[in-house]
Every structure is written in structure tokens, then in C-alpha cells.
Amino acid sequence: MLTVHHLNNSRSQRVLWLLEELGVPYEIVRYQRQPDMRAPKELRAIHPLGKSPVITDNGNTIAESGAIIEYIIATYGNGRLIPQADTPERLRYTYWLHYAEGSAMTPLLLKLLFTLMPKRAPALLRPLVRKVSNQALSTLVNPQLKQHMAYWEGELGKGEWFAGSEFSGADIQMSFPLEAAAARGGLEDGHPRCIAFLERIHARPAYARALEKGGPYEVGR
């Protein structure tokens, strides 16, 4: 049976959601973040990088969200959640599947990093670290993030879903950047289509079932 090595409050929540959408039987092996928010060392026994998500299935160990989504849909989807080949929708699907981690998450991770740095710096260094962090946020990170959010807003004006008129694995992949932007990037300010997208995915029964099985998920709520 397919096994999801599930880290709490992580991208692996998307994998549970995908499996629930497809009705694929699976089991969960749970891992809890350490106090510093890093994954526990036990995950290294599954994959050398020790990160989540990771799945194991039929002797295969697969990491990286996009690769996992591609594998699950190709193996168990029977044509579901993916546009037909050689269509504009399929090209958009492939693009968003890779864009989500390749481009969208970079400014969000930088924002998280520069926001946390002053809080975790030694007291004597905190004013300097805060100054450097604020400068990086205002001149580099926040402008990039605003550009990406405006891009999402414009693309969602072309249709309800990222790859076209039908819900697909690309929407599952893009859920994490939009949820992260809603949590810490100011997505609610001037991006009504993005907020409507989040409301649509949160209303899906499979999303709710994945939350029940995966446990508390602060990024998405």
C-alpha cells in the first residue's frame, strides 16, 4: 500500500489531499517537527535529505511535491485531475506544477526567514539583525512577493482554476503558496480571486478529509 511519510504543518498535506480526491488507499507514518521547526532525523531513514513530503509505493521512494503529484496521477489517476495531452490546458498544468516550488515559494520562504531572524538573534545583536532583515524585506522580498501575488490574481481571472476550467493537480500544488501568502504575505489585500480560490479548495470534501487524517494544519488555516 502507498505510504505517506507525513510531517505536521508541511507540504505533505497536499499529498493527503490528492489521495483523498482520487480515492486511493494509503497509510500515514507521522513525524513531528522539532522545536526549531526542522523535520526529525528519522525522516533521513526514508530519504537522505530527511524532508517531507516523501511517499513509498511498490518499492519506489519518491520525494518532491511535484514529482509525487505526477507519480500518483500517472499511476492511480486514470485520467483524472490532469488535462488531456497536447492541449493548452495541459501546458498550463505542467507550468503551474513546477512554478509552485520553483518560483512561488522562494519569496515566501525568504519572508519567513527574515521575519524570524530578529526574534531568534541574541539580544545584543537583535537591533542590527532587525535592521538588516527589515531592509531585505522592504527592498527585495516584499516587492517580489507582491509581483507573484498580482500574477496569480491575473491568471485566476482567466478561469476558476490554474490550468483552465477544470480542477486539477496543479491546483493542489498551487494551494500551498497561496495558503502561505494568506498566512504571512498579505494575500487578502487586493487579491479577491486568490481568496476565492482558497475558499473553493477549502470547501472541497476531500480537502476536509485530508485535514482530518493529517492533523492540525496551521498554514492552511
How do residues 86-136 score in pLDDT, each as one tens digit? 999 999 999 999 999 999 999 999 999 999 899 988 988 889 989 999 999
More confident residue, 9 or 137: 137
- For residue 16, is pLDDT > 50? yes
How many CA atoms within 13 Å lie on the side-chain side of 189?
7
Q: How much is the average pLDDT of 30-55? A: 85
* All structural domains of the chain: 3-82+208-214 (3.40.30.10), 88-204 (1.20.1050.10)
Taking the CA atoms of residue 127, residue 129, residue 134 and residue 135 in that order, the dihedral angle to the nearest 10 degrees is 110
Angle formed by the axes of helices 169-184 and 105-120, to 10°?
30
Helix (H, G, I), strand (E, B) or coil at 164: strand
Angle formed by the axes of helices 169-184 and 12-22, to 10°?
140
> For 90-103, how does the pLDDT look when each residue is reduced to its tens digit (9 = 90+)?
999 999 999 999 99
Of the pLDDT bands very low, low, confident and very high (cuts 50, 70, 90), residue 220 is very low
DSSP letters for 40-57: PGGGGGTSTT--S-EEEE
Residue 79 to residues 82, 84, 97, 101, 157, Cα–Cα distance (Å): 6, 8, 16, 24, 26
